[in-house]
Amino acid sequence: MSAPTARDIWTSALGSLQLEVTRNNYDTWLKSSLGLEATEDTFVIGVPNAFVAECLGKRMSPLITKTLKGLLDRDVSVSYKVYQEGAAGNGHRHENGAAAPIRTTTRARVADGHLNPRYTFETFVVGKSNQFAAAAAVAVADNPGQDHNPLVIHAGVGLGKTHLLHSIGHAVNARGLRCLYASAEQFTNDFVSALRDGGLEEFRNKYRDIDLLLIDDIQFIAGKEHSRESFFHTFNDLHTASKHIVITSDTRPKSIPLLEERLSSRLESGLRVDITPPNLETRMAILGNKADQANAHVDREIIEFISRKIAHNVRDLEAALNRIMAMASMTNQPITMDLATQAVTDAPSSTSRLRRRNPLDVIDTVAAYFGLSAEDLAAKTRRANITLARQVAAYLMREETSRSLADIGSYLGDRGHSTILRAHDKIVYELNVSTQLRRHVAEIRDTLERLPPRRT
């Protein structure tokens, strides 16, 4: 086997990073990156635009450097470069982002609606757990604007929602219809930038002048009143005009907190299909396909071994396979059962790693960052700087610990769960619009990252 290329190394780094950062962060900042160039002491990562480069540089560099060091066994200095994927691709070219990076992203996103070429119906393995969802998706792709409108696909993390949504997009695009894919987060960002830049007309046209709208992870919109309102109107306009809407959600719309009744009942008015975790047979079929797609030879026993070990989620299953393939390529070995055993035992599941912080660490770190004490955060005062620190603490505890809202409230002066949820959602919203807050939160996360584990 030849030495791993920058692409291989980065693919393997992504496998580890996926387990280290929250899913939103992974999807937003890392997913579309690729390894461009590796030398003895440098590593260049390709990113889709200047805004992503800036954010990765500011908030993830220590983690990225650490991950690469773990893989390469040497220190490398990391840089980011804007690349244009398949210049002939979708006809969209990124502007040169040097002058105004944030605006560039807005533009890029407006024209983007990027579909992953690997997520098609052909590569989607159908089993008991997803057959209704897959059948409904195919039916909509065949006859958009007809039955099952809206189609809501709901499932836990990593079970194929985005894959199915992109598959519909590819099928519909191939027939020359206009379809738009956006995560609910992107929808919100577009809306916020449109408000800020006076581009509401453009925003309206973008989301309404289409045959089919695919919105991923609608739960993200909960709690963001203006975006919800705007989505509700977009939804009604499209629905009235018999345009199709397909939405994914990690819970039933009815049980998403802060999704208004009128919107959730609209969403429940079409067809709702679940995807449940796949059984062993389906997991093995999925993994076998992924290995084939990567041109890797992996014995059936090894496929079965991994599929038995990682049962709950296809994304973790795939990450384990990527890790094994990368380890094999990096150490110049074939894929053996020994290697698989090692890779699978070394890789804790994304859920167990993500929610590992101690709430007291979060409180202490946030308080210290803002020059306050833990008692200040628990106090009754509403002084602006204390309120902000408290909201950030609530946000980080919700994102990074496994504590319930009520529990988090008890750390913050016995505040009720709805106060904590509002504080969390306020920060989620502000992170979309405030560069300064993004910097604060990234710096706090970096500090948390470096804390030694707390003895209990």
Q: Footprint of ligand ADP on this chain (CB under 6 A)?
A: 119, 123-125, 130, 155, 157-163, 286, 314-315, 318
Q: Report in angstroms how near the CB of residue 27 gets to Mg ion at its nearest.
A: 7
| Among 153-161, 220-228, 236-244, 277-285, the segment contacting Mg ion (CB under 5 A) | 153-161
Interface with Mg ion (CB under 5 A), residue from 12, 33, 162, 227? 162
Q: Report in angstroms how near the CB of residue 140 gets to ligand ADP at its nearest.
A: 16
| Token couple for 439 | 């910097």
Q: Residue 16 touches which of Mg ion, ligand ADP, none (CB < 5 to 8 A by kind)?
A: none
How far is residue 306's CA from residue 282's CA, in Å, rounded to a whole number? 13
- The reply on whether position 188 binds Mg ion by CB under 5 A is no
How far is residue 386's CA from residue 178's CA, in Å, rounded to a whole number? 48
Q: Residue 397 touches which of ligand ADP, Mg ion, none (CB < 5 to 8 A by kind)?
A: none
Q: Residue 158 touches which of ligand ADP, Mg ion, none (CB < 5 to 8 A by kind)?
A: ligand ADP
How far is residue 127's CA from residue 285's CA, in Å, rounded to a whole number? 9
The closest alpha carbon to 116, from 86, 96, 139, 146, belongs to: 86
Q: Report in angstroms how near the CB of residue 37 gets to Mg ion at its nearest.
A: 30
Q: Residue 394 touches which of Mg ion, ligand ADP, none (CB < 5 to 8 A by kind)?
A: none
* Strand order through the sheet with 244-249: 179-183, 212-216, 244-249, 151-154, 271-274
Q: Report in angstroms how near the CB of residue 115 gets to Mg ion at its nearest.
A: 13
Nearest residue to ligand ADP by CB is 160
- Other Cβ atoms less than 10 A from the Cβ of 384: the count is 8
Return the half-sphere exposure (C-beta side, CA atoms, 13 A cut-off) of residue 170.
Answer: 17
User: Are the C-beta atoms of residues 67 and 35 closer than 8 Å to each other?
Assistant: no
Return the half-sphere exposure (C-beta side, CA atoms, 13 A cut-off) of residue 276.
Answer: 6
Residue 162 or 322 having the CB closest to Mg ion: 162
Q: Residue 97 touches which of ligand ADP, Mg ion, none (CB < 5 to 8 A by kind)?
A: none
Residue 17 or 448 having the CB closest to Mg ion: 17
Q: Report in angstroms how near the CB of residue 261 gets to ligand ADP at its nearest.
A: 26
DSSP state of 118: T
Residue 112 or 361 having the CB closest to Mg ion: 112
The amino acid at 211: D
The closest alpha carbon to 115, from 189, 47, 180, belongs to: 180
Q: Report in angstroms how near the CB of residue 420 gets to Mg ion at its nearest.
A: 25
Residue 291 or 335 having the CB closest to ligand ADP: 291
Q: Which of residues 435-454 bind Mg ion (CB under 5 A)?
A: none
User: Are the C-beta atoms of residues 267 and 253 closer than 8 Å to each other?
Assistant: yes
| Among 3-11, 55-63, 155-163, 289-297, the segment contacting Mg ion (CB under 5 A) | 155-163
Q: Report in angstroms how near the CB of residue 72 gets to ligand ADP at its nearest.
A: 25
Residue 24 or 123 having the CB closest to ligand ADP: 123
Q: Residue 315 touches which of ligand ADP, Mg ion, none (CB < 5 to 8 A by kind)?
A: ligand ADP
Strands 151-154 and 271-274: parallel
Q: Report in angstroms how near the CB of residue 415 gets to Mg ion at its nearest.
A: 31
How far is residue 67's CA from residue 31's CA, in Å, rounded to a whole number? 16
Q: Is 371 left (phi over 0), alpha (psi -120 to 50) or beta?
A: left
The closest alpha carbon to 408, from 426, 390, 420, belongs to: 420
How far is residue 249's CA from residue 312's CA, in Å, rounded to a whole number? 18
Where does residue 272 rank: exposed (0-12), middle (13-18), buried (19+ CB within 10 A)?
buried
| Among 140-148, 158-166, 275-283, 399-407, the segment contacting Mg ion (CB under 5 A) | 158-166
Residue 323 or 440 having the CB closest to ligand ADP: 323
Residue 139 or 379 having the CB closest to ligand ADP: 139
Residue 185 or 364 having the CB closest to ligand ADP: 185
Q: Residue 124 touches which of Mg ion, ligand ADP, none (CB < 5 to 8 A by kind)?
A: ligand ADP
What is the binding site for Mg ion (CB under 5 A)?
Answer: 161-162
